[in-house]
């Protein structure tokens, strides 16, 4: 018989009755016997052998040997008619305000009326608590990630490689190289490249600092990366880079979490290596949709011999276009680490993601920087057929000269 009472019914127990107590969840159901003890009688915890004072005359002696308080009246009966689903897991007393007077445990499964009950119940609940926390964490970690970010100009998905898109300090938008290339061609006769999104020409470090003042996590990531590699006029400073990344992570930047994870996973040198911190930040980045961090988690699990968990990560990252993760899935399929249905759906999602990355602008940009002038001219003719009346080859030469001048300025600076 449960110590919970249904609405409108009074349950009464006598000393010696066998009862079943539910402490917050079905996982904490225990049976025992109603006993009578003196007030402030000194008892001894059967597991820890610690002395403690019994604060209620009528208690339940559990089959495990422990005692727990129950909502008994002085005559040894339960007169509580509450149907509240909220109970203290330590003493079993029902909440009088729908759980508002109880404190939820970290596992989100049981509640306690105070620290004393939580401490007394810890030895029984510790294993279950850790298990439920891990289950809840895995549910979040392997949940469907947020959709990848789109280019703000062409509205196609941004490439996974950061080198294939550019962050603009003026407006804080990341724009794919294809749209930037098309924008440069269309503005070649004017001699300057305004931002394709906000039309500003200010892409200076000062503009970056303004974005940081607005708590733009991505701006902190860019600034940290520049200090990490020592580029764009900044001296290499790993401590400064880590500081910027940490601040950006506080503002919700998945890229900053991924960079911190990489820093602790070898990129910061032997002295900074910390696999636990690396995993923590990789997981935070992966839950926000960072594909590189997700792949790194898969590699960590694979190196630890947890191939099933590793494949879960690889399937998620491969589905959004990560080729390295797809290769790992292909290696795992013959070993039966991946089910056929999951493998087929992953391949389909991968090819759909790759197709979504293809645009005429991105193809022209790729051909231009690869040095294939003939193929580039053909792509540009197709690209600018409706918006450009001049010779595409002259536009290409003008753009090449402009890039040379830009490179010369960067080298001299």
Looking at the structure, do residues 132 and 167 belong to the same domain, yes or no?
no
Residue 412 lies in a domain: no
Query: What's residue 370's pLDDT?
Result: 76
Residues of the chain with pLDDT under 50: 1-12, 23-27, 39-56, 71-84, 386, 409-410, 413
Boundary-marking domain end, from 141, 173, 200: 141
Q: State pTM to two decimals.
A: 0.71
| Three-state SS sequence of 323-391 | HHHHHHHHHHCCCCCCCHHHHHHHHHHHHHHHHHCCCHHHHHHHHHHHCCHHHHHHHHHHHCCCCCCCC
CATH of the domain at 361: 1.25.40.10
Residues 295 and 242 both lie in one domain? yes
Are 73 and 134 members of one domain? yes
Q: Is residue 133 part of a domain?
A: yes
Helix (H) or strand (E) holding 60: strand 58-62
Report d(CA 170, CA 151) in Å as an integer: 16
Domains identified in the chain, total number: 2
Q: Read off the pLDDT of residues 295-320 as tens digits, 9 standing for 90 and up.
A: 999 999 999 999 999 999 999 999 99
Distance CA 60, CA 90 (A): 11
Question: Which of the listed residues 141, 176, 209 is the one where a domain comes to its end?
Answer: 141
- The verdict on residue 407 lying in a domain is no
Verify that 248 and 395 share a domain, yes or no.
yes
| Structural contact between residues 208 and 233, judged by C-beta atoms closer than 8 angstroms | no
pLDDT at residue number 6: 32
Contact between residue 165 and residue 151 where contact means Cβ atoms under 8 Å apart: yes
What would the pLDDT profile of 350-371 be if each residue is shown by its tens digit? 999 999 999 888 988 888 777 6
Average pLDDT, the chain: 79
- Contact call for residues 17 and 33 (beta carbons, < 8 A): yes
Give the phi and the psi of residue 252 in degrees, each rounded to 5: 90, 20
Burial class (CB in 10 A: 0-12, 13-18, 19+), 241: buried
Residue 155 lies in a domain: no
Three-state secondary structure call for residue 308: helix
For residues 186 and 224, state if they share a domain.
yes
Look at residue 147 and tell me if it is in a domain. Answer: no
CB crowding 26-38: b at 16 or more within 10 Å, else e? ebbebebebeeee
Domain-embedded: residue 408: no
Helix (H, G, I), strand (E, B) or coil at 143: coil
Does any domain span residue 308? yes
Task: For residue 154, tell me if it sits in a domain.
Answer: no
Query: Are residue 200 and residue 130 in the same domain, yes or no?
Result: no
365 with 236, same domain: the answer is yes
* CA 10/CA 303 separation, integer angstroms: 58
Helices 217-229 & 238-250, crossing angle to 10 degrees? 170
Residue 19 near residue 3, CB atoms below 8 Å: yes
What's the burial of 152, exposed, middle or buried (CB within 10 Å: 0-12/13-18/19+)?
middle
Q: Report the alpha-carbon distance of residue 220 to residue 254 in Å, rounded.
A: 11
How many CB atoms neighbour CB 191 within 10 A? 8
* 42/112 same-domain check: yes
Nearest alpha carbon to residue 238 among 286, 213, 271: 271
Residues 208 and 282 both lie in one domain: yes
In whole angstroms, what is the distance from residue 314 CA to residue 170 CA? Answer: 36
**Which residues are CB-neighbours of 213 under 8 A, at least 6 positions away?**
none
Where does 167-216 have alpha helices with state H?
A: 177-186, 205-213
Residues 370, 250: one domain? yes
- Residues 186, 61: one domain? no
Same domain, residue pair 129 and 216: no
Give the residue from 141, 174, 208 where a domain finishes.
141
> What pLDDT sits at residue 80?
35
What is the residue range of 258's domain? Answer: 162-402
Answer whether 168's CB lies under 8 Å from 175's CB. yes
Residue pair 157/352 in contact (Cβ under 8 Å)? The answer is no
């Amino acid at each position: 018989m449960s110590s919970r009472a249904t609405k409108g019914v009074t349950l009464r127990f006598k000393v010696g009755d066998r009862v079943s107590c539910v402490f917050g969840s079905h996982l904490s159901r225990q049976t025992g016997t109603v006993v009578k003890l003196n007030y402030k009688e000194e008892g001894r915890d059967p597991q820890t052998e610690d002395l403690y004072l019994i604060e209620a005359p009528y208690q339940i002696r559990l089959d495990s040997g422990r005692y727990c308080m129950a909502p008994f009246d002085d005559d040894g009966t339960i007169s509580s008619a509450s149907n509240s689903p909220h109970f203290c897991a330590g003493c079993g007393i029902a909440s009088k305000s729908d759980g508002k007077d109880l404190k939820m445990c970290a596992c989100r499964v049981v509640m306690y009326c105070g620290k004393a009950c939580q401490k007394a119940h810890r030895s029984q609940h510790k294993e279950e608590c850790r298990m439920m926390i891990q289950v809840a964490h895995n549910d979040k970690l392997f949940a469907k990630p947020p959709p990848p970010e789109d280019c703000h100009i062409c509205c196609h998905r941004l490439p996974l490689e950061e080198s294939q898109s550019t962050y603009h300090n003026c407006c804080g938008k990341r724009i794919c190289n294809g749209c930037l290339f098309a924008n440069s061609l269309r503005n070649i006769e004017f001699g300057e490249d305004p931002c394709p999104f906000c039309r500003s020409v200010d892409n200076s470090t000062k503009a970056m600092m303004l974005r940081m003042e607005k708590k733009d996590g991505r701006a902190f990531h860019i600034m940290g990366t520049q200090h990490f590699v020592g580029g764009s006029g900044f001296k290499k400073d790993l401590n400064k880079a880590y500081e910027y990344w940490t601040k950006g992570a506080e503002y919700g930047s998945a890229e900053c979490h991924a960079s911190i994870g990489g820093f602790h996973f070898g990129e910061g040198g032997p002295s900074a290596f910390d696999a636990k911190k690396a995993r923590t930040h990789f997981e935070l980045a992966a839950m926000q949709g960072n594909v590189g961090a997700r792949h790194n988690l898969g590699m960590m699990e694979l190196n630890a011999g947890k191939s099933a968990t590793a494949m879960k990560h690889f399937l998620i990252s491969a589905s959004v276009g990560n080729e390295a993760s797809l290769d790992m899935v292909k290696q795992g399929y013959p070993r039966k680490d991946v089910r056929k249905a999951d493998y087929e759906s992953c391949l389909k999602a991968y090819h759909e993601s790759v197709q979504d990355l293809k645009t005429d602008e991105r193809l022209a940009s790729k051909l231009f920087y690869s040095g294939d002038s003939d193929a580039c001219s053909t792509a540009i003719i197709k690209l600018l057929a409706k918006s450009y009346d001049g010779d595409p080859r002259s536009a290409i030469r003008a753009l090449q000269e402009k890039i040379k001048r830009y490179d010369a300025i960067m080298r001299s600076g």
